[in-house]
Protein backbone atom coordinates (compact mmCIF):
# COMPACT_ATOMS: atom_id res chain seq x y z
CA UNK A 1 0.00 0.00 0.00
CA UNK A 2 1.29 3.44 -0.92
CA UNK A 3 1.01 6.42 1.35
CA UNK A 4 1.31 10.02 0.37
CA UNK A 5 4.39 11.71 1.67
CA UNK A 6 3.60 14.80 3.67
CA UNK A 7 6.26 16.98 5.13
CA UNK A 8 5.18 18.23 8.49
CA UNK A 9 7.15 20.31 10.92
CA UNK A 10 7.49 18.53 14.25
CA UNK A 11 5.86 20.53 16.99
CA UNK A 12 7.99 21.78 19.82
CA UNK A 13 7.52 19.56 22.87
CA UNK A 14 6.07 22.39 24.98
CA UNK A 15 2.97 22.17 22.84
CA UNK A 16 2.46 18.46 23.37
CA UNK A 17 0.22 16.62 25.79
CA UNK A 18 0.73 12.86 25.92
CA UNK A 19 -2.59 11.89 27.32
CA UNK A 20 -4.37 8.71 28.35
CA UNK A 21 -8.01 8.16 29.16
CA UNK A 22 -8.53 5.87 32.13
CA UNK A 23 -11.91 4.37 32.93
CA UNK A 24 -13.92 1.44 34.11
CA UNK A 25 -15.40 -0.35 31.11
CA UNK A 26 -18.62 1.40 29.97
CA UNK A 27 -17.90 4.69 31.76
CA UNK A 28 -17.57 6.34 28.35
CA UNK A 29 -13.89 6.25 27.38
CA UNK A 30 -14.62 5.49 23.72
CA UNK A 31 -17.32 8.16 23.49
CA UNK A 32 -15.11 10.80 25.16
CA UNK A 33 -12.25 9.89 22.78
CA UNK A 34 -14.58 10.14 19.79
CA UNK A 35 -15.85 13.52 20.85
CA UNK A 36 -12.33 14.83 21.35
CA UNK A 37 -11.30 13.62 17.90
CA UNK A 38 -14.40 15.13 16.35
CA UNK A 39 -14.02 18.44 18.12
CA UNK A 40 -10.36 18.76 17.21
CA UNK A 41 -11.15 18.01 13.58
CA UNK A 42 -9.17 14.79 13.57
CA UNK A 43 -12.28 13.01 12.26
CA UNK A 44 -15.07 14.62 10.28
CA UNK A 45 -17.92 12.33 11.11
CA UNK A 46 -19.02 11.53 14.62
CA UNK A 47 -19.00 7.84 15.34
CA UNK A 48 -21.42 6.25 17.73
CA UNK A 49 -20.48 3.33 19.91
CA UNK A 50 -23.81 1.62 19.40
CA UNK A 51 -23.68 1.60 15.60
CA UNK A 52 -20.08 0.46 15.49
CA UNK A 53 -18.71 3.47 13.64
CA UNK A 54 -16.26 4.85 16.18
CA UNK A 55 -12.71 5.38 15.01
CA UNK A 56 -11.17 3.91 18.09
CA UNK A 57 -13.15 0.70 17.85
CA UNK A 58 -11.77 0.26 14.46
CA UNK A 59 -11.28 -3.35 13.55
CA UNK A 60 -12.82 -3.00 10.10
CA UNK A 61 -11.05 0.29 9.44
CA UNK A 62 -7.82 -1.24 10.54
CA UNK A 63 -8.27 -4.05 8.09
CA UNK A 64 -9.24 -1.69 5.30
CA UNK A 65 -6.25 0.51 5.83
CA UNK A 66 -3.85 -2.24 6.77
CA UNK A 67 -2.77 -0.33 9.83
CA UNK A 68 -3.48 -1.00 13.48
CA UNK A 69 -1.73 1.89 15.06
CA UNK A 70 -4.99 3.17 16.44
CA UNK A 71 -4.75 0.55 19.08
CA UNK A 72 -1.78 2.48 20.42
CA UNK A 73 -2.03 6.21 19.82
CA UNK A 74 -3.81 8.88 17.88
CA UNK A 75 -2.87 12.50 17.53
CA UNK A 76 -4.99 15.65 17.26
CA UNK A 77 -4.53 19.41 17.48
CA UNK A 78 -6.31 21.68 19.92
CA UNK A 79 -5.71 25.37 20.35
CA UNK A 80 -2.12 25.16 19.14
CA UNK A 81 -1.34 22.05 21.17
CA UNK A 82 -0.71 18.59 19.86
CA UNK A 83 -2.62 16.07 21.93
CA UNK A 84 -1.45 12.49 21.58
CA UNK A 85 -4.13 10.16 22.90
CA UNK A 86 -2.55 6.92 24.01
CA UNK A 87 -4.80 3.94 24.39
CA UNK A 88 -4.93 2.48 27.87
CA UNK A 89 -6.89 -0.76 28.04
CA UNK A 90 -9.73 -0.46 30.55
CA UNK A 91 -9.76 -4.09 31.47
CA UNK A 92 -7.56 -5.40 34.26
CA UNK A 93 -6.75 -8.49 32.17
CA UNK A 94 -4.50 -6.24 30.13
CA UNK A 95 -2.63 -5.05 33.17
CA UNK A 96 0.82 -5.31 31.56
CA UNK A 97 -0.40 -3.25 28.66
CA UNK A 98 -1.88 -0.69 31.05
CA UNK A 99 1.48 -0.50 32.82
CA UNK A 100 3.32 0.04 29.56
CA UNK A 101 0.96 2.73 28.36
CA UNK A 102 1.11 4.48 31.75
CA UNK A 103 4.87 4.66 31.35
CA UNK A 104 4.58 6.76 28.21
CA UNK A 105 1.84 9.13 29.40
CA UNK A 106 2.47 12.53 30.92
CA UNK A 107 -1.10 12.95 32.10
CA UNK A 108 -4.53 11.36 32.02
CA UNK A 109 -8.25 12.00 32.10
CA UNK A 110 -10.02 9.62 34.48
CA UNK A 111 -13.60 9.15 33.26
CA UNK A 112 -16.30 8.19 35.76
CA UNK A 113 -19.95 7.34 35.30
CA UNK A 114 -22.09 9.94 37.10
CA UNK A 115 -24.47 7.22 38.31
CA UNK A 116 -21.97 4.54 39.34
CA UNK A 117 -19.18 6.87 40.57
CA UNK A 118 -15.85 5.16 41.19
CA UNK A 119 -15.97 1.51 40.06
CA UNK A 120 -13.44 -1.27 40.71
CA UNK A 121 -11.50 -0.98 37.45
CA UNK A 122 -11.26 2.78 37.73
CA UNK A 123 -9.92 2.28 41.23
CA UNK A 124 -7.24 -0.20 40.15
CA UNK A 125 -6.10 1.88 37.17
CA UNK A 126 -6.06 4.94 39.45
CA UNK A 127 -3.63 3.16 41.78
CA UNK A 128 -1.44 2.09 38.88
CA UNK A 129 -1.39 5.71 37.70
CA UNK A 130 -0.46 6.77 41.26
CA UNK A 131 2.52 4.43 41.21
CA UNK A 132 3.67 5.84 37.89
CA UNK A 133 3.14 9.40 39.11
CA UNK A 134 0.78 10.23 36.24
CA UNK A 135 -1.06 13.53 36.94
CA UNK A 136 -4.81 13.28 36.37
CA UNK A 137 -7.94 15.30 35.96
CA UNK A 138 -11.37 13.72 36.43
CA UNK A 139 -14.35 13.86 34.08
CA UNK A 140 -17.67 12.78 35.58
CA UNK A 141 -19.54 11.62 32.47
CA UNK A 142 -23.17 10.70 31.73
CA UNK A 143 -24.66 13.58 33.70
CA UNK A 144 -27.72 13.22 31.47
CA UNK A 145 -28.55 9.75 32.86
CA UNK A 146 -31.41 9.15 35.26
CA UNK A 147 -29.93 9.02 38.75
CA UNK A 148 -26.79 10.95 37.77
CA UNK A 149 -25.44 13.09 40.58
CA UNK A 150 -22.16 14.98 40.51
CA UNK A 151 -21.93 15.36 44.31
CA UNK A 152 -22.30 11.62 44.94
CA UNK A 153 -19.71 10.83 42.26
CA UNK A 154 -17.35 13.42 43.80
CA UNK A 155 -17.84 11.86 47.24
CA UNK A 156 -16.84 8.46 45.84
CA UNK A 157 -13.72 10.02 44.26
CA UNK A 158 -12.80 11.43 47.70
CA UNK A 159 -13.58 8.26 49.65
CA UNK A 160 -12.39 5.53 47.32
CA UNK A 161 -9.46 7.18 45.62
CA UNK A 162 -8.25 9.01 48.74
CA UNK A 163 -7.64 12.24 46.90
CA UNK A 164 -8.97 15.77 47.27
CA UNK A 165 -11.55 16.57 44.56
CA UNK A 166 -11.28 20.15 43.28
CA UNK A 167 -14.65 20.70 41.64
CA UNK A 168 -14.46 23.52 39.10
CA UNK A 169 -17.95 23.29 37.61
CA UNK A 170 -21.55 23.33 38.77
CA UNK A 171 -24.00 21.45 36.51
CA UNK A 172 -26.93 23.40 35.04
CA UNK A 173 -30.01 21.20 34.95
CA UNK A 174 -30.03 17.54 35.83
CA UNK A 175 -30.59 14.16 34.19
CA UNK A 176 -32.48 14.65 30.94
CA UNK A 177 -32.46 18.41 31.53
CA UNK A 178 -28.66 18.63 31.90
CA UNK A 179 -27.74 21.44 29.55
CA UNK A 180 -24.55 23.08 30.71
CA UNK A 181 -22.23 24.04 33.53
CA UNK A 182 -21.20 27.06 35.52
CA UNK A 183 -17.46 27.53 35.16
CA UNK A 184 -16.53 28.32 38.77
CA UNK A 185 -13.23 29.93 37.79
CA UNK A 186 -14.67 32.50 35.40
CA UNK A 187 -18.09 32.46 37.10
CA UNK A 188 -19.73 32.20 33.70
CA UNK A 189 -22.37 29.81 32.34
CA UNK A 190 -21.65 27.46 29.43
CA UNK A 191 -24.78 26.18 27.71
CA UNK A 192 -24.81 23.51 25.02
CA UNK A 193 -27.32 23.27 22.20
CA UNK A 194 -28.50 19.91 20.86
CA UNK A 195 -26.03 20.09 17.98
CA UNK A 196 -23.11 20.24 20.42
CA UNK A 197 -22.32 23.95 19.95
CA UNK A 198 -22.17 26.04 23.10
CA UNK A 199 -22.58 29.58 24.28
CA UNK A 200 -20.93 31.34 27.16
CA UNK A 201 -23.10 33.73 29.11
CA UNK A 202 -23.88 35.33 32.46
CA UNK A 203 -24.75 33.23 35.47
CA UNK A 204 -28.45 32.46 35.68
CA UNK A 205 -29.86 34.32 38.74
CA UNK A 206 -31.29 31.11 40.15
CA UNK A 207 -27.81 29.58 40.33
CA UNK A 208 -25.88 32.61 41.54
CA UNK A 209 -25.99 31.81 45.24
CA UNK A 210 -25.11 28.15 44.78
CA UNK A 211 -22.31 29.02 42.37
CA UNK A 212 -20.87 31.54 44.86
CA UNK A 213 -21.03 28.94 47.63
CA UNK A 214 -19.18 26.40 45.48
CA UNK A 215 -16.59 28.90 44.35
CA UNK A 216 -15.94 29.69 48.00
CA UNK A 217 -15.58 25.99 48.78
CA UNK A 218 -13.08 25.62 45.93
CA UNK A 219 -11.07 28.61 47.18
CA UNK A 220 -10.99 27.22 50.73
CA UNK A 221 -10.00 23.73 49.61
CA UNK A 222 -7.23 25.05 47.36
CA UNK A 223 -5.99 27.45 50.08
CA UNK A 224 -5.64 24.52 52.48
CA UNK A 225 -3.29 22.78 50.06
CA UNK A 226 -1.42 25.56 48.32
CA UNK A 227 0.75 28.23 50.04
CA UNK A 228 0.26 31.02 47.45
CA UNK A 229 -3.50 30.52 47.48
CA UNK A 230 -3.48 30.49 51.29
CA UNK A 231 -1.53 33.74 51.43
CA UNK A 232 -4.01 35.44 49.12
CA UNK A 233 -6.97 33.96 50.97
CA UNK A 234 -5.66 35.27 54.31
CA UNK A 235 -4.88 38.75 52.94
CA UNK A 236 -7.99 39.29 50.85
CA UNK A 237 -10.40 36.60 52.09
CA UNK A 238 -10.71 35.34 48.52
CA UNK A 239 -8.53 33.76 45.86
CA UNK A 240 -8.36 35.23 42.35
CA UNK A 241 -9.02 33.23 39.19
CA UNK A 242 -5.39 33.56 38.19
CA UNK A 243 -4.04 32.25 41.49
CA UNK A 244 -6.60 29.44 41.48
CA UNK A 245 -5.50 28.35 38.01
CA UNK A 246 -1.83 28.33 38.95
CA UNK A 247 -2.61 26.44 42.16
CA UNK A 248 -4.80 23.88 40.38
CA UNK A 249 -1.97 23.28 37.94
CA UNK A 250 0.52 22.70 40.77
CA UNK A 251 -1.84 20.47 42.75
CA UNK A 252 -2.58 18.37 39.65
CA UNK A 253 1.10 17.86 39.02
CA UNK A 254 1.94 16.93 42.59
CA UNK A 255 -1.14 14.71 42.79
CA UNK A 256 -2.32 16.46 45.97
CA UNK A 257 -5.72 17.07 44.43
CA UNK A 258 -7.70 16.26 41.33
CA UNK A 259 -9.58 18.82 39.25
CA UNK A 260 -13.10 17.53 38.60
CA UNK A 261 -15.14 18.47 35.51
CA UNK A 262 -18.42 17.04 34.34
CA UNK A 263 -20.52 16.55 31.25
CA UNK A 264 -22.22 14.17 28.92
CA UNK A 265 -19.98 12.86 26.17
CA UNK A 266 -22.92 11.21 24.50
CA UNK A 267 -24.71 14.55 24.17
CA UNK A 268 -21.50 16.36 23.34
CA UNK A 269 -21.55 18.45 26.49
CA UNK A 270 -18.50 19.40 28.45
CA UNK A 271 -15.76 18.33 26.02
CA UNK A 272 -14.37 21.81 25.23
CA UNK A 273 -13.78 22.69 28.91
CA UNK A 274 -12.24 19.26 29.34
CA UNK A 275 -9.70 19.94 26.59
CA UNK A 276 -9.06 23.37 28.05
CA UNK A 277 -8.31 21.71 31.39
CA UNK A 278 -5.98 19.17 29.74
CA UNK A 279 -3.91 22.00 28.30
CA UNK A 280 -4.10 24.17 31.45
CA UNK A 281 -3.37 21.60 34.15
CA UNK A 282 -1.67 18.52 32.71
CA UNK A 283 2.06 18.71 32.02
CA UNK A 284 3.87 18.81 28.71
CA UNK A 285 6.85 16.47 28.16
CA UNK A 286 9.10 19.38 29.19
CA UNK A 287 7.41 19.69 32.58
CA UNK A 288 8.15 16.14 33.70
CA UNK A 289 11.44 15.12 35.29
CA UNK A 290 14.15 13.65 33.02
CA UNK A 291 13.89 9.88 32.51
CA UNK A 292 16.50 7.65 34.04
CA UNK A 293 18.29 4.76 32.48
CA UNK A 294 21.15 2.44 33.24
CA UNK A 295 23.87 0.68 31.37
CA UNK A 296 26.14 -1.81 33.08
CA UNK A 297 24.98 -0.47 36.43
CA UNK A 298 25.70 3.20 35.72
CA UNK A 299 22.63 5.44 36.13
CA UNK A 300 22.11 8.20 33.58
CA UNK A 301 19.47 10.87 33.16
CA UNK A 302 18.07 12.07 29.86
CA UNK A 303 16.29 15.43 29.59
CA UNK A 304 13.40 16.09 27.19
CA UNK A 305 15.73 17.98 24.88
CA UNK A 306 15.85 17.46 21.10
CA UNK A 307 19.62 18.11 21.20
CA UNK A 308 20.32 15.40 23.83
CA UNK A 309 21.27 11.85 22.77
CA UNK A 310 18.28 9.92 21.41
CA UNK A 311 16.38 7.61 23.78
CA UNK A 312 12.88 6.17 23.29
CA UNK A 313 10.67 3.45 24.73
CA UNK A 314 8.78 0.95 22.56
CA UNK A 315 5.32 0.61 24.05
CA UNK A 316 3.46 -1.35 21.43
CA UNK A 317 4.26 -3.40 18.34
CA UNK A 318 1.65 -4.23 15.71
CA UNK A 319 1.90 -6.30 12.56
CA UNK A 320 -0.05 -4.72 9.72
CA UNK A 321 -0.22 -4.94 5.96
CA UNK A 322 1.89 -1.76 5.90
CA UNK A 323 4.60 -3.52 7.86
CA UNK A 324 5.68 -4.03 11.43
CA UNK A 325 4.65 -0.88 13.28
CA UNK A 326 6.68 -0.05 16.36
CA UNK A 327 5.10 2.62 18.57
CA UNK A 328 7.60 4.80 20.39
CA UNK A 329 7.68 7.48 22.99
CA UNK A 330 10.72 9.62 22.37
CA UNK A 331 12.11 10.85 25.69
CA UNK A 332 15.21 12.67 24.56
CA UNK A 333 16.99 13.65 21.37
CA UNK A 334 15.81 13.42 17.79
CA UNK A 335 15.24 10.46 15.50
CA UNK A 336 15.43 10.78 11.72
CA UNK A 337 14.26 8.62 8.88
CA UNK A 338 17.14 6.35 7.91
CA UNK A 339 18.85 6.51 11.33
CA UNK A 340 20.43 3.45 12.87
CA UNK A 341 19.37 2.99 16.47
CA UNK A 342 20.42 0.56 19.16
CA UNK A 343 18.01 -1.75 20.96
CA UNK A 344 20.04 -1.44 24.12
CA UNK A 345 18.67 -4.44 26.05
CA UNK A 346 19.04 -6.83 23.11
CA UNK A 347 22.29 -5.12 22.00
CA UNK A 348 21.08 -5.12 18.42
CA UNK A 349 21.18 -2.38 15.79
CA UNK A 350 18.02 -1.53 13.87
CA UNK A 351 17.29 0.84 11.01
CA UNK A 352 14.43 3.35 11.03
CA UNK A 353 12.68 3.04 7.65
CA UNK A 354 9.74 5.41 8.04
CA UNK A 355 8.35 7.54 10.85
CA UNK A 356 4.56 7.92 11.02
CA UNK A 357 2.34 10.23 12.96
CA UNK A 358 -1.24 9.15 13.24
CA UNK A 359 -4.26 11.38 12.93
CA UNK A 360 -7.49 9.44 13.16
CA UNK A 361 -8.02 7.42 10.03
CA UNK A 362 -4.74 8.48 8.41
CA UNK A 363 -1.07 8.24 8.99
CA UNK A 364 1.38 10.86 7.85
CA UNK A 365 5.05 10.31 7.11
CA UNK A 366 7.36 12.68 8.94
CA UNK A 367 11.13 13.03 8.61
CA UNK A 368 11.94 13.42 12.27
CA UNK A 369 10.50 12.95 15.75
CA UNK A 370 11.81 14.78 18.80
CA UNK A 371 11.82 14.45 22.57
CA UNK A 372 8.22 14.29 23.80
CA UNK A 373 6.80 12.84 20.57
CA UNK A 374 4.75 9.69 20.19
CA UNK A 375 5.20 8.15 16.74
CA UNK A 376 5.23 4.80 14.99
CA UNK A 377 8.23 3.55 13.10
CA UNK A 378 8.36 1.08 10.21
CA UNK A 379 11.53 -0.86 9.51
CA UNK A 380 12.49 -2.17 12.93
CA UNK A 381 12.64 -5.94 12.69
CA UNK A 382 12.85 -7.22 16.23
CA UNK A 383 12.42 -4.54 18.94
CA UNK A 384 9.72 -5.61 21.40
CA UNK A 385 7.29 -3.73 23.59
CA UNK A 386 9.24 -2.52 26.60
CA UNK A 387 12.54 -2.18 24.69
CA UNK A 388 14.69 0.96 24.86
CA UNK A 389 15.93 2.37 21.57
CA UNK A 390 18.84 4.77 21.78
CA UNK A 391 21.66 6.44 19.90
CA UNK A 392 24.38 3.77 19.37
CA UNK A 393 26.99 6.23 20.68
CA UNK A 394 25.06 6.82 23.93
CA UNK A 395 23.54 3.49 24.98
CA UNK A 396 21.23 3.04 27.98
CA UNK A 397 18.22 0.98 29.05
CA UNK A 398 15.35 3.12 30.36
CA UNK A 399 14.31 2.15 33.85
CA UNK A 400 10.76 1.03 34.45
CA UNK A 401 9.55 3.51 37.08
CA UNK A 402 8.89 1.88 40.45
CA UNK A 403 9.58 -1.51 38.94
CA UNK A 404 9.92 -3.09 42.36
CA UNK A 405 6.30 -2.39 43.31
CA UNK A 406 3.76 -5.15 42.84
CA UNK A 407 1.06 -4.59 40.23
CA UNK A 408 -2.24 -3.79 41.89
CA UNK A 409 -5.11 -5.83 40.56
CA UNK A 410 -8.70 -6.30 41.47
CA UNK A 411 -10.20 -9.65 42.27
P1 LIG B 1 -16.14 2.59 27.35
O2 LIG B 1 -16.40 1.15 27.55
O3 LIG B 1 -15.62 3.25 28.60
O4 LIG B 1 -15.29 2.91 26.15
O5 LIG B 1 -17.57 3.29 27.15
P6 LIG B 1 -18.34 3.70 25.82
O7 LIG B 1 -17.87 5.01 25.34
O8 LIG B 1 -18.32 2.55 24.89
O9 LIG B 1 -19.79 3.93 26.41
C10 LIG B 1 -20.53 2.88 27.01
C11 LIG B 1 -22.00 3.13 26.77
O12 LIG B 1 -22.38 4.33 27.46
C13 LIG B 1 -22.36 3.35 25.30
O14 LIG B 1 -23.62 2.75 25.06
C15 LIG B 1 -22.43 4.86 25.17
O16 LIG B 1 -23.32 5.28 24.15
C17 LIG B 1 -22.96 5.25 26.55
N18 LIG B 1 -22.52 6.61 26.92
C19 LIG B 1 -21.30 7.16 26.82
N20 LIG B 1 -21.29 8.44 27.25
C21 LIG B 1 -22.55 8.68 27.67
C22 LIG B 1 -23.18 9.83 28.24
O23 LIG B 1 -22.61 10.90 28.43
N24 LIG B 1 -24.50 9.68 28.57
C25 LIG B 1 -25.21 8.53 28.35
N26 LIG B 1 -26.48 8.50 28.70
N27 LIG B 1 -24.63 7.45 27.81
C28 LIG B 1 -23.34 7.51 27.47
pTM metric for this prediction: 0.88
Rounded to a whole number, what is the largest CA-CA distance in the chain?
Answer: 68
Task: Encode burial over 352-369: b for 16+ CB neighbours within 10 A, e otherwise.
Answer: bebbbbbbbbebbbbebb
Confidence of residue 409 (pLDDT cuts 50, 70, 90): very low
Q: Which H helix or E strand runs over 253?
A: helix 241-254
How large is the average pLDDT for residues 281-299? Answer: 89
Q: 33 in ligand 1 pocket by Cβ < 6 Å? A: no
Write down the mean pLDDT value for the chain.
85
- What percentage of the chain exceeds 90 in pLDDT? 65
Do residues 266 and 35 lie in contact, with contact meaning Cβ atoms separated by under 8 Å? Answer: no
Q: 139 in ligand 1 pocket by Cβ < 6 Å? A: no
Model ipTM? 0.99
The strand pair at 311-320 and 298-302 is best described as: unpaired
The strand pair at 16-23 and 107-113 is best described as: parallel
pLDDT of residue 106: 94
pLDDT of residue 224: 98
How large is the average pLDDT for residues 154-181? Answer: 97
Beta bridge partners of 239: none
Q: Which residues are annotated as a binding site for GTP?
A: 23-30, 87-91, 141-144
- What percentage of the chain exceeds 70 in pLDDT? 84
* pLDDT exceeds 80 at position 111: yes
Q: How many other CB atoms sit within 10 Å of the CB of residue 164? A: 17
Q: From atom 22 of ligand 1, which residue's Cα is the shortest distance away?
A: 142
Do residues 374 and 326 lie in contact, with contact meaning Cβ atoms separated by under 8 Å? Answer: no
Among 49, 94, 270, the mutation site with the greatest number of ligand 1 atoms within 8 A of its Cβ is: 49
* pLDDT exceeds 70 at position 410: no
Q: 233 in ligand 1 pocket by Cβ < 6 Å? A: no
pLDDT of residue 94: 60
Q: How many residues does the chain have?
A: 411
Confidence of residue 52 (pLDDT cuts 50, 70, 90): very low
Q: 34 in ligand 1 pocket by Cβ < 6 Å? A: no
Confidence of residue 124 (pLDDT cuts 50, 70, 90): confident
Confidence of residue 360 (pLDDT cuts 50, 70, 90): low
pLDDT of residue 41: 74
- 142 versus 13: which is more confidently predicted? 142
* pLDDT exceeds 70 at position 407: no
CA of 165 to the centre of ligand 1 (A): 23
How large is the average pLDDT for residues 128-145? Answer: 95
Q: Which H helix or E strand runs over 126?
A: helix 120-131
Q: How many other CB atoms sit within 10 Å of the CB of residue 120? A: 12
Amino acid sequence: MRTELHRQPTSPPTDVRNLGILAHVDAGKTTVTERILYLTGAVHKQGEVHDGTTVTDFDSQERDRGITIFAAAVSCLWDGHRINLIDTPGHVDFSDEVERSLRVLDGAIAVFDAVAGVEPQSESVWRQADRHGVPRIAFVNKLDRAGADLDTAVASIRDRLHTVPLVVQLPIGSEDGFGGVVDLLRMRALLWADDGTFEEGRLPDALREEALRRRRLLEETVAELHPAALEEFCAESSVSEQTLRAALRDLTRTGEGVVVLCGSAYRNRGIEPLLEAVVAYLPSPLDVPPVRGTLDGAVQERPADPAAPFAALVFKVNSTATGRLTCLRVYSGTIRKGDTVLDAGARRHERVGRILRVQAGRHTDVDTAVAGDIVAVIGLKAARAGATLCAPAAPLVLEPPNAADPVVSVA
